[in-house]
Amino acid sequence: MTYTTQMDAARKGILTPEIRTVSEKEGMTPERLMALMAKGRIIIPANKNHKNLSAEGVGEGLRTKINVNLGISKDCSDVEMEMEKVHLALRLKAEAIMDLSCFGKTQEFRKRLVEISPAMIGTVPIYDAVGFYDKNIKDISVDEFFRVVETHVKDGVDFLTIHAGLNRETAEKIKRNERITSIVSRGGSLLYTWMQLNDAENPFYEHYDRLLEICEAHDVTLSLGDACRPGCLHDSTDACQVQELITLGELTRRAWERNVQVMIEGPGHMAMDEIAGNMMMEKRLCHGAPFYVLGPLVTDVAPGYDHITSAIGGAIAAASGADFLCYVTPAEHLRLPDLEDMKEGIIASRIAAHAADIAKKIPGARKWDDAMSRARAALDWETMFSLAMDPDKPRAYRASSMPEHEDSCSMCGRMCAVRNMNRIREGKDIQLQD
């Protein structure tokens, strides 16, 4: 029996290699996995041309996944540095990498990325279009936009961010509802500009069936972008954001009719007390499709520390139903992140994702924590380091300030509660003084 996409296979009861891989990674039966995929509640982004992919599932009942953004730009066009970032993201176990390249030899970089990465790869084709054609945004034709999409798909990209929900109706809402930060989505702002200058409908909304045909042919997942995501707390959960979300729900159903997998992108900046409600709203309006969020950042006043503001929001969002977190680095809003910024952002996002998995009671999530707790109780430093999310940092901290006694740390020394309780339980004496 043949199939076109992973969703089509699930609906036909075909156990693809990718479905088998995800089933084994997640400890979910293939039957349960395929049932949720058939409904669109789980996706497995897996372009037929991405030969090195180690498939991951995103959605209901699965571990929360994280994505890392990178790519070359006009101001930072060092391809080899971006490749170093790729290797770092893979070493730190990011499940996805988004190539946001918008300058120079973007296809060459993208092909190298797809070739070496077992992580799923995403792109935003409209970023590439301006540099690809070396034209002003106004002068790019509809056919040219779609040729870039086709190029990315043929190169092996697993998911595409397309801001198809920003139609003329939503654009009018933006004009009528004043925001402090207007549109902060780069792709959304480019499409809005194109629409206004050409007095035309969003080409990806107007010609959505053409987009679905491309995705179906190569088994590419649509990540329906949130052009109206809030760029500050003031703008969250407003009419523009909600209107676009309603449209994305309608586009989701149309994609599923073609067996095209879909995830929905979400906020943005948002106060903590709005996050759970937004997660519920997305799941209702978009029929249970997986939710991919940037943050949310829970305050606007911490530039240089937005990996923390994002991790707080991401943990709440994922615990409330979000399935996929886009990392945020300390350099957010300020510059292109370097390797150290990336590491801080990845670890912060992984902490948020794992904390949420514990709250969601994902099978096996707490086993990792229990193993660490047993190592701590035994004062087994090497096991603690091996279990750590980032083994290098705790190892370096301990090496920088070694205690008098190996079975303690330099904070408590002989007064270490764990050390003393272990000794008492073993019938040994405790001497706090020389």
> pLDDT, tens digit, for every residue of 290-314?
999 999 999 999 999 999 999 999 9
**Residue of higher predicted confidence among 219 and 131:** 219
- Known binding residue 318? Answer is no
Residues 342 and 211 in one domain: yes
Same domain assignment for residues 351 and 415: no
Rounded Cα distance between 128 and 313, Å, is 30
The span from the CA of 410 to the CA of 404, in Å, is: 8
- Mark which of 327, 342, 359 sits at the end of a domain: 359
Distance CA 193, CA 235 (A): 20
Same domain for 354 and 420, yes or no, is: no
- Encoding tokens for residue 151? 């190029």
Find out whether 228 is annotated in a ligand binding site: yes
Q: Are residues 306 and 406 in the same domain?
A: no
Consult the annotation and say whether 265 binds a ligand.
Answer: yes
Distance CA 21, CA 19 (A): 5
Half-sphere exposure of 210 (CA within 13 A, CB side): 13
404 annotated as ligand-binding? no
pLDDT surpasses 70 at 434: no
Q: Which amino acid is at 60?
A: E
Shared domain check, 128 and 272:
yes
* Contact in structure between 204 and 191 (CB atoms under 8 Å): yes
Q: How far apart are CA 323 and CA 320, in angstroms?
A: 9
CB 231 within 8 A of CB 184: yes
Determine if residue 240 is labeled as part of a ligand binding site.
no
Residues 107 and 151 sit within 8 Å (Cβ to Cβ)? yes
Instruction: Give the number of domains in the chain.
Output: 2
313 and 412 part of one domain: no
Mean pLDDT across 240-250: 97
Judge whether 187 is annotated as a binding position: yes
pLDDT in tens, 179-231: 999 999 999 999 999 999 999 999 999 999 999 999 999 999 999 999 999 99
Q: Among 2-11, 70-79, 187-196, 366-375, where is mean pLDDT lowest?
A: 70-79
In this prediction, residues 394-402 reach a mean pLDDT of 89
| Domain identity same for 63 and 163 | yes
258 marked as part of a ligand binding site: no
What are residue 58's DSSP bridge partners?
Answer: 43
Task: Give Cα separations from 210 to 154, 195, 214, 302 (angstroms).
Answer: 15, 18, 7, 42
98 is in an annotated binding site: yes
Could you tell me if residue 419 is inside a domain?
A: yes
Q: Looking at the domain assignment, is residue 374 inside a domain?
A: no
Residues 412 and 307 in one domain: no
Nearest to 39 by CA among 288, 231, 330: 288
Which has the closest alpha carbon to 390: 431, 331, 342? 342
Summarize pLDDT for 79-90 with one digit per residue, the tens. 999 999 999 999
Report pLDDT for 105: 84
Whether 329 and 433 share a structural domain: no
Average pLDDT over residues 56-71: 97
Please check whether residues 347 and 405 belong to one and the same domain.
no
Over residues 336-354, the pLDDT tens digits come to 999 999 999 999 999 999 9
pTM above 0.75, yes or no: yes
| Alpha carbon distance 123, 417 (integer Å) | 51
Q: Is 333 one of the annotated binding-site residues?
A: yes
Q: Is residue 118 one of the residues assigned to a domain?
A: yes
Res 406 pLDDT > 80: no
- Residue 69 among known ligand-binding residues: yes
Report if residue 133 sits inside a domain.
yes
Q: Which residue has the tokens 């207007």?
A: 182
Q: Is residue 296 reached through a cis peptide bond, with omega within 30 degrees of 0 on the bond before it? A: yes
Indicate whether 433 pLDDT > 80.
Answer: no
Q: Is 229 annotated as a binding residue?
A: yes
Whether residue 235 sits in one domain with residue 99: yes
Tell me if 32 is assigned to some domain: no
Q: Is 292 annotated as a binding residue?
A: yes
Measured from the Cβ of residue 402, the count of other Cβ atoms closer than 10 Å reads 10
Residue range(s) defining the domain that contains residue 164: 43-359
Do residues 203 and 254 both lie within one domain? yes
